[in-house]
Amino acid sequence: MKKYYNFVILIICLLIPPLFSAEIPVFLEDAEGEISVILKVIDSQGNDDIDFLVKHRDISKQEKHKLIIEKMKKRTLDKQQAILDEIKHNLEYVSEYKSFWISNVVYLRGDAGFIRYISSRDDVENVFKNLPLMLVMPVDSAIATDFKTGSEPGLDVIGVKTAWEMGLTGEGSIVCNFDTGVDGNHPALLPSWRGSNGASVSESWFDPYTNTDFPVDSHGHGTHTMGTMVGLDGGDTIGVAFGAQWISAAVVDRGGGVQRTIADILSAFQWAADPDGDPSTSDDMPDVINNSWGVPTGYLGACDMTFWEAIDNVEALGIVCLFAAGNEGPFSSTIRTPADRITTQFNSFAVGAINSQTLEIASFSSRGPSGCDSVTIKPEIVAPGVGIRSCDNGGGYISMSGTSMATPHVAGAVAILRQFNP
């Protein structure tokens, strides 16, 4: 009799599909008050249609950009609609929300009880904490008092002068950084800002916090990384691709006591994918994004997938994403997320630092192997990152050390390669 009873219960459970079946994450179980999360929406369709467009050689870059973004927007709207309707019907429990198309996620800030409720829906695949992001801070810095002419030693190490002699300076390419901002008035950077070259402010500068209409940098880090990519001031060449133009998203460590989070980076990826908001144009889109941020090991699990879809979709549009490996060396398996990803040989390219004088790996540079499998070699590439002189706030120059100083060398090289082979 007992076996028969259990069998009946099993049949009933199988015949009645639950409306709310997702597993509630541990961090949500006892949460109280107002919290902030990222809802990952279930999508069983996959990216086959977008992958087809990426590989299709007979479609122009401009048409490909339009078709891919339209597919992203339609797919995410279709998948998210029921969740968005649920949120709109319960706005008394919601402080803020945003639907994304660069990744099939919804940012939600509100009452913990309501977020528990909506997270249990069967169309919610996963729930992530909207964690604060951390700038890959330089390990040391020193004001550069000597004015140099010529080019920086790091540029000699990567052999970029050979490209310059061939007329390859990055002309026609666009670089972008996700960083603390940029001092747009710096004489080595102002001429190459896209906003100085006929483009609108909104497609050249992304500042969702202070909404300034001109690039600013409250820290100096972003100004330094941009200088290494494109800086040129008279006879002083500090940038790898001084012929390229730049845009910037100021979404990391802006100061003022406000934490920048996963949602902020997703907003930046979405902006960079279509800076002018017109999918039918692609000449506003950057060729490369230099990322000087990450989540240190221990804050997220190894090989965390939070950012993967956004990165995949940005790269599907033709944008190269580079990540500073982190400054947690010399210990092994210290590559930050998402630079630790190993899905392919090209996604989430991690950049380590070497000393341009000795060519030795910098002691601070984060090491592999990747925490994804504890085997795969990381980082994929290294570049000069010790004592790198570049732009500082206020029009001056400063030397800094870190993998954030190495990564823009590679980003500048990408801009030159794109000029050679668009």
Per-residue pLDDT of the chain (422 residues; tens, 9 = 90+): 434 333 332 333 333 343 444 578 888 988 999 999 999 999 866 666 677 667 667 788 899 999 999 999 999 999 999 999 999 999 999 999 999 999 999 999 999 999 999 999 999 999 999 988 889 999 987 766 555 556 789 999 999 999 999 999 999 999 999 999 999 999 999 999 999 999 999 999 999 888 899 999 989 999 999 999 999 988 779 999 999 999 999 999 866 555 689 999 999 999 999 999 999 999 999 999 999 998 776 777 778 889 999 999 999 999 999 999 999 999 999 999 999 999 888 778 999 999 999 999 999 999 999 999 999 999 999 999 999 999 999 999 999 999 999 999 999 999 999 999 99
Q: And the tokens for 280?
A: 């039918």
Q: And the tokens for 260?
A: 């920048």
* CA-based radius of gyration for the chain: 23
111, 123, 179, 183: which is the annotated catalytic residue?
179
The yes-or-no answer on residue 221 being catalytic is: yes
65, 221, 224, 409: which is the annotated catalytic residue?
221
36, 356, 365, 404: which is the annotated catalytic residue?
404
The yes-or-no answer on residue 103 being catalytic is: no
CATH topology of domain 134-420: Rossmann fold (3.40.50)
Give pTM, 2 decimals. Answer: 0.91
> 73-98: string of b/e by CB count within 10 Å (b at 16+)?
eebbeebbeebeeebeeeeebbeebe
| Domain chopping of the chain, boundaries | 14-129, 134-420
Altogether, the residues listed in the chain come to a count of: 422
Q: Which long-range contacts (CB under 8 A, 24 or more apart) does 45-48 make?
A: 45/75, 47/312, 47/316
DSSP 133: P
φ, ψ dihedrals at 101, nearest 5°:
-115, -20
CB atoms within 10 A of CB 117: 15
Contact 331, 368 (CB under 8 A): no
The yes-or-no answer on residue 274 being catalytic is: no
